[in-house]
Structure 1
Amino acid sequence: MQFSIPGLAVCAAVLIVAYYSRGMLIIGLMASLAFGSTAAMTLTSLGGSTPLIYTLFAALLVTAVTARRYVWFELGSVFGSIRSIWILMSLMTYAIIGAWLLPRLFAGQTVVFVQSKTRGAVVEASLAPVSANTSQTGYFILGGLTAIALCMLFLHSDRIDQLRRGFFLWCGLHAGMGLIDFFGKCAGAGDLLAPIRTASYALLTDAVEAGFSRIAGAFSEASSFAAASLACLAFCYTYWRKTKSRLAQWLAAILLFLTILSTSSTAYIGLTILCVPVAFSMSASVLRGRFEREEILIFAIMAFGVVTVLGVSLYDAGALDPFIRLINSTIINKANSSSGEERTYWNVKSLQSFLDTSGLGVGFGSSRASSWPIAVLSQLGLFGSLMVAILVAVLVSGVGRARERLDPETDAVVLSVRNAALASIVANSVSGGSADPGMLFFIAFAAVSATKARARRTVTVLRQTQHRLLTQAI
């Protein structure tokens, strides 16, 4: 094990900020998500794997919750009141067994894509056990344990304010480092965030797309930055619409700006998909004949953008050529590019590996795809995919009818967190290579499940109290 001084320094800074924010565990975990290419150590025993710093904060949270005095009582309460936790535990168990068994059971019977240690690139090879079976499964199990720990915290105490501040700190750090990267490249200073990029990932921070410098923020590449930007944007936009928060409004504007400038296909395709529910919501307001001030502002910005583009094109027909080339490169002609053809080939072969293993999958971490649903299907098989689908359905349904019993702030925070996780799933569905849905998914799952269970428990207590008072009155 080799430690990284810059990585440890970032961890210390996050811990200090989280401590003075009166929420070390939750706020520290959320803030660490902004550093998408910072590792505190290198695990030589796992093939040189460099876990990002969020894994340390997640492990700290799980350890701290486990050390609580009434941990077994709280754990039993979680498993007794949140039924979907049993699905999560079953999926974690299945992932562990599959990661060890399936690559050995189907060794050499199908083709997978793995990271080559010598070439530093993804290569095609016959199925066999690899170090990623251990590391990727470990990340997934850590995410599941974090979800259970957060359920224990959310179910037995009001932590919504900590969750809200943690998400805003994450969005603020992400936007801030994105702006640093953007202005540094515009000024010709290069990658200003290079000192904190301590992970052993392939760094594509100096890439150029159609003449535009790609924005990577604190991540290793523009695609990962764009995926995180979409999640942050979904949180800030939802919270702004629910609470009229000026902070959320400005953060949403900055994040939209950075998402567009990231020059990532993930950003543009994901943003298009996320605009669909927004368009439906605004269309419903038009049909009802009731416009909110925020919707009028969005319409005005869109109209101003259209008029500006038309005006520029009329003044100088060639002024928009760089942007047209960018759209052609990242969206229209992406599938025909060498990168697009390679990723399509990954997906086709991943689906073939699902068939070659009779629907059982190749095991967690055994292969790489270019779309999260395909990665889930190929690695976890049909049975594991069904369990993942149930967990996603829990997230999509949200708190349901329990929303009527929530205070406005709790409703706004949980809905915003839920939408951020769904935006992350959309981004991963465009370009995600692993079956792991990511730490944000587990955080949102815990927030939604625990809030719903807590509201249901409150109703039960009220009914019991009313029944007791009625009995005494009779």
Structure 2
Amino acid sequence: MQISFVGLLICAGILVIGYYCRAPLIIGLIVSLAFGATAVMTLSAIGGSSPLIYTFFAALLITAVVSRRRMWRDLGHVFGKIRPVWVLTGLMLYAVVGAWLFPRFFAGQTSVFVQAAMRRGVIEAPLAPVSGNITQTGYFVLGGITAIALCVLLLQENRLESIRRGFLLWCSVHVVFGFLDLLGKIAGAGDILWPIRTASYAMLTEVIENGFWRITGAASEASSFGGGSLVCLSFCYVYWRKTKSRVAQALAFLLLVLLLLSTSSVAYVGLAVLSIPVALSIWWSFLSGRMDKDEILIIALLALAAVTVLAIVLYDEEFFAPFVHLIDSMVLNKASSASGQERAYWNIKSLQAFVETGGLGVGLGSSRASSWPIAVASQLGLVGGVMMVTLLLVILRGMGSLKGHIDSETNAVVSSVQACALGSVAAGSLGAGSADPGMIFFIALAVISTSRVNARRSRDATLRTIQLGQPAPLAYRPATH
């Protein structure tokens, strides 16, 4: 085991910021997600795996909850109030058993794509136990236990302010590193963020695509950075629309710029997908005659951009030729490229493995796909897939009919975290290789689940008060929207 001193220094700095914000563990966990290529150590005993620094904060958070004097009572409260936690626990147990059993039970009966042991890259090989069974299952279980620990903390007291600060700080750090990386490359300095890239996997940080530098920020490659930009943009946009926050508005604009410059097909396609509900929302506001000034601003900016592009094309037809070639190669013709065909073949083999294992799956970490839903099906099988879909539906539902029993700020934070998680799912569906949905998914699950419990508590208190013939207390009166 090799300790990364750079990773430890960054962890210490994040802890100081979190302590200043009076929530070192929650804020530290969220902010550490911005460092997608910074490891806290390298574990040579299990294939050279290098856990990223968010695992350090997740472990600290879990330790803090476990060391509480009323830990068992708090856990009982969580399992008694939040039914999705039972599904999450069952999924973790199924993933652990499947990661050990299925690669051995179905060994040699199907072929999968796995990370090469002696050289970089992905190779096709007969199904067999690999180090990924340990590492990816470990990350998945860590995320699930972190969600339960967060449920304990969020049920005990209102910590949504810490969640809000953590996400805004994460988005800010992501923006800073994105522009630093871009400016360094434009200035000819190359990868100026290489000192913080301490993870052991391949770093594709100095790549040019059709004359454009690919932005990687603090991530290991442009697609990871583009996916992170999409996730952060989802949070900032929803929070801005809900609260009119100028900070969130500025971050949303900067994240959109970085996303457009990222040269990531995941980011471009994901943005197109997530733009559909935004466009429908604005169209519904227009039809109902309730458009606000922010929606008018969005339409005005889009119209101005369209007019500007048209004017430039009329002046110089070849001005946008490099941009057209970039979109053509990264999005329109991506599927016909060698990389696109290779990843499509990964997905085909993953679906084939699902069928050849009778729908049980090959075990978490046994294979590599290029889409999160396909990875879930091939690795977790039908049983695990149903449990994963159940948790996804919890996030999709959000607060539902309980929105009226929480205040406007709580609704804004929960809705923004929900959008962030859905953005993560969208990005993962376009290129993720593992069935692990990621830490954002688990954080959102905890935030939404506990907020629903608190909203039901407020609703019940309001009903009891009304039944007694007294006016509802201010703290429990439904929020008006």
Instruction: Give the TM-score normalised by structure 1.
Output: 0.98
Aligned residue for 2:165?
165
Q: How far 1:455 sits from its partner (Å)?
A: 1.2
Q: How far 1:465 sits from its partner (Å)?
A: 5.5
Q: Which whole-Å CA distance do the structure 2 matches of 1:398 and 1:290 have between them?
A: 24
Q: Which whole-Å CA distance do the structure 2 matches of 1:129 and 1:166 have between them?
A: 38
Q: Which whole-Å CA distance do the structure 2 matches of 1:81 and 1:457 have between them?
A: 10
The alignment status of 1:8 with 2:8, answered yes or no, reads yes
Q: Which whole-Å CA distance do the structure 2 matches of 1:49 and 1:302 have between them?
A: 45
> 2:114 is paired with a residue of what secondary structure?
strand
Aligned residue for 1:33?
33
The alignment status of 1:383 with 2:377, answered yes or no, reads no
> 2:34 is paired with a residue of what secondary structure?
coil
1:325-362 per-residue CA deviation (whole Å, 9 max, x = no partner) reads 00110011101100000000000000000001010000
Aligned residue for 2:421?
421
1:169-207 per-residue CA deviation (whole Å, 9 max, x = no partner) reads 100001110010111111111111100000011111101
Which structure 2 residues correspond to residues 372-451 of structure 1 after superposition, within 5 A? 372-451=372-451
Aligned residue for 1:60?
60
**Aligned CA distance change for structure 1 residues 45 and 285 (closer, same or farther; 3 Å):** same
Aligned residue for 2:138?
138
The one-letter amino acid of 1:432's match is A
Aligned residue for 1:237?
237
Aligned residue for 2:271?
271
Aligned residue for 2:117?
117
Q: How far 1:290 sits from its partner (Å)?
A: 2.3
Q: Which whole-Å CA distance do the structure 2 matches of 1:187 and 1:117 have between them?
A: 37
Aligned residue for 1:199?
199
> 2:113 is paired with a residue of what secondary structure?
strand
**Aligned CA distance change for structure 1 residues 76 and 466 (closer, same or farther; 3 Å):** farther
Aligned residue for 2:186?
186
1:123-147 per-residue CA deviation (whole Å, 9 max, x = no partner) reads 0000000011010000000000000
Identity of aligned residues (%): 58
Aligned residue for 1:148?
148
Q: How far 1:318 sits from its partner (Å)?
A: 0.8
Q: Which whole-Å CA distance do the structure 2 matches of 1:114 and 1:309 have between them?
A: 45
The one-letter amino acid of 2:79's match is F
Q: Which whole-Å CA distance do the structure 2 matches of 1:469 and 1:247 have between them?
A: 43
Structure 1: gaps (5+ residues) = none
The alignment status of 1:285 with 2:279, answered yes or no, reads no
Aligned residue for 2:21?
21
The one-letter amino acid of 1:355's match is V
Q: Which whole-Å CA distance do the structure 1 matches of 2:116 and 2:288 have between them?
A: 57
Structure 2: gaps (5+ residues) = 471-481
Q: Which whole-Å CA distance do the structure 2 matches of 1:201 and 1:43 have between them?
A: 12
Which piece of structure 1 moves more, 273-282 or 297-306?
297-306
The one-letter amino acid of 1:284's match is W
The one-letter amino acid of 1:415's match is S
Q: CA RMSD in A?
A: 1.1
Aligned residue for 2:223?
223
Q: Which whole-Å CA distance do the structure 1 matches of 2:19 and 2:222 have between them?
A: 31
Q: How far 1:460 sits from its partner (Å)?
A: 2.7
The alignment status of 1:371 with 2:381, answered yes or no, reads no
Q: Which whole-Å CA distance do the structure 2 matches of 1:16 and 1:355 have between them?
A: 50
1:213-259 per-residue CA deviation (whole Å, 9 max, x = no partner) reads 00010000010111111110000000000000000000000000001
Q: How far 1:469 sits from its partner (Å)?
A: 8.0
Q: Which whole-Å CA distance do the structure 1 matches of 2:352 and 2:223 have between them?
A: 26
Deviating above 3 A after TM superposition, structure 1's stretches of 4 or more consecutive aligned residues are: 461-470
Aligned residue for 2:475?
none
Aligned residue for 2:355?
355
Q: How far 1:402 sits from its partner (Å)?
A: 1.1
1:68-113 per-residue CA deviation (whole Å, 9 max, x = no partner) reads 1111111111111111111000000000000000000000000111
> 1:367 is paired with a residue of what secondary structure?
coil
Q: Which whole-Å CA distance do the structure 1 matches of 2:463 and 2:396 have between them?
A: 28
The alignment status of 1:94 with 2:94, answered yes or no, reads yes
1:429-469 per-residue CA deviation (whole Å, 9 max, x = no partner) reads 00111100000000000000000011112333444566678
Q: Which whole-Å CA distance do the structure 2 matches of 1:234 and 1:71 have between them?
A: 34
> 1:123 is paired with a residue of what secondary structure?
strand
Q: How far 1:21 sits from its partner (Å)?
A: 1.2
> 1:263 is paired with a residue of what secondary structure?
coil
**Aligned CA distance change for structure 1 residues 465 and 328 (closer, same or farther; 3 Å):** same
1:381-418 per-residue CA deviation (whole Å, 9 max, x = no partner) reads 01100000000000000011111010000000000000
Instruction: Give the TM-score normalised by structure 2.
Output: 0.96
Q: Which whole-Å CA distance do the structure 1 matches of 2:166 and 2:4 have between them?
A: 25
Q: Which whole-Å CA distance do the structure 2 matches of 1:14 and 1:434 have between them?
A: 28
Q: Which whole-Å CA distance do the structure 1 matches of 2:404 and 2:467 have between them?
A: 22
1:51-74 per-residue CA deviation (whole Å, 9 max, x = no partner) reads 000001001001101111111111
> 2:112 is paired with a residue of what secondary structure?
strand
Aligned residue for 2:44?
44
Q: How far 1:304 sits from its partner (Å)?
A: 1.1
